Homo-oligomer: A and B are copies of this chain.
Amino acid sequence: MAGEDRFVRRLLEELPASRRVVLGPGDDAAVVAVETGLWVVTTDMVVEAIDFLPGDTPEAVGRRAMAVNLSDLAAMGARPEFFLLSIAFPARRGEDFPLSVARGALSRATPVGAALVGGDLSDAQSVVVSIALWGRPEGEPTRRAGARAGDLLFLSGAPGRAAAGLVLARAQAQGVSYGGELNPEARAELLAAYRDPEPRLALGLALARQGQATAAIDISDGVGIDSGRLARASGLRAVIEEPRLPISPALAAFARFEGRDPLELLLAGGDDYELLFAVAPERAAEIPPRGPGGVPLSRIGHLEPGEGAFLRSATGDRDISGLGHDHLSCAP
């Protein structure tokens, strides 16, 4: 039996049953049972040396790939239903490698009810994991467009920590005892933010169910660039008030140690997968200080007529719409 067929047989033993899956992995394609209406579909891939470090375990890579896709559904307010998983990797690692990637993805997918229905394996020089995910919107899908002038901007969590965690993880991978002056709790918090980001699915679903968000985006590339994207899609200008930005104590400690401005990490750092969403002012009081699972929700600014994204501080307004990770820029 070919390695690929053996992989499928072993994988099937571990898959939970799903009412949607009429025909799962192992044929030319999968067959799923679907009901009429709108479906939300997304795809994201993670690439070795770009989105994760070569030393990361295959479980961690699969878990991250799934989290990134779940985050897109969270932003749209859609409940995950099923997914396809493709893994390119050096074939010499054998079938245990993709099996571990699949287990990592399932560790995120199964608790939220998303079934693995199929995928693809290929030999490759380095690892690429690609997921395509389907979900059903709770109510109207939440887009980037849809906000109105005067809407308030809210942000979940405390972004910037993943970018700090990446610096620590890189140092760790190189055997450098970097960041040793940070207290162990701060260090662990930052590393976890990078290594195992928590998609804000419960928050996105709650917002959609109650029709509270007029627009939303997940912060994958930086609060600067992503707030600019939401503003542009809505045909407005985003104004972020600097004193309102949530800087976690761990990020502040890291920035001190690094001699960097924690605000820069928050605005330009990617990989946090928090949600940025707009709420009509008359409904802003409905947004609690903490969302599902206890995630802090901060009011950080508003939308107004105009374009771009600006950080407003005592010294004036500063254009931040270019701050963040551009997947097509050469410097990662």
Contacts and interface: CB of A to CB of B under 8 A. Distances in A.
Contacts of A247: none
Interface in A9-57: 22-23, 26-47, 49-51
A40 B33 contact: no
A34 B41 CA distance: 11
Given A28-B75, A33-B37, A36-B36, A327 B42 contact: no
Contacts of A229: 5
B31 A132 contact: no
A329 B91 contact: yes
B123 A50 contact: yes
A261 interface: no
Interface in A78-107: 78, 82, 84, 86, 88, 91-92, 94-95
A125 B50 CA distance: 9
A258 interface: no
A130 interface: yes
A95 B329 CA distance: 10
A2 B326 contact: yes
Interface residues of A, number: 81
A288 interface: no
Contacts of A121: 327-328
Contacts of A145: 27
A121 B22 CA distance: 31
Interface in A111-140: 117-126, 128, 130, 132, 134-135, 137
Given A35-B36, A43-B86, A124-B128, A28 B328 contact: no
A310 B76 CA distance: 52
Interface in A171-205: none
A132 B39 CA distance: 15
A86 B260 CA distance: 35
A43 B3 contact: no
Contact of A329 (B2, B29, B126, B221): B2
B38 A2 contact: no
Interface string A139-151: 0010111000000
B119 A43 contact: yes
A297 interface: no
A4 interface: yes
A128 B87 CA distance: 11
A330 B29 contact: no
B3 A328 contact: yes
B125 A126 contact: yes
6 contacts: A2-B322, A4-B327, A28-B75, A28-B216, A41-B84, A124-B128
Interface of A: 2-7, 22-23, 26-47, 49-51, 72-73, 75-76, 78, 82, 84, 86, 88, 91-92, 94-95, 117-126, 128, 130, 132, 134-135, 137, 141, 143-145, 216-218, 221, 225, 229, 233, 322, 324, 326-330, 332
The 5 A-B pairs at the shortest CB distance, nearest first, are namely A3-B328, A132-B132, A29-B42, A2-B326, A130-B130
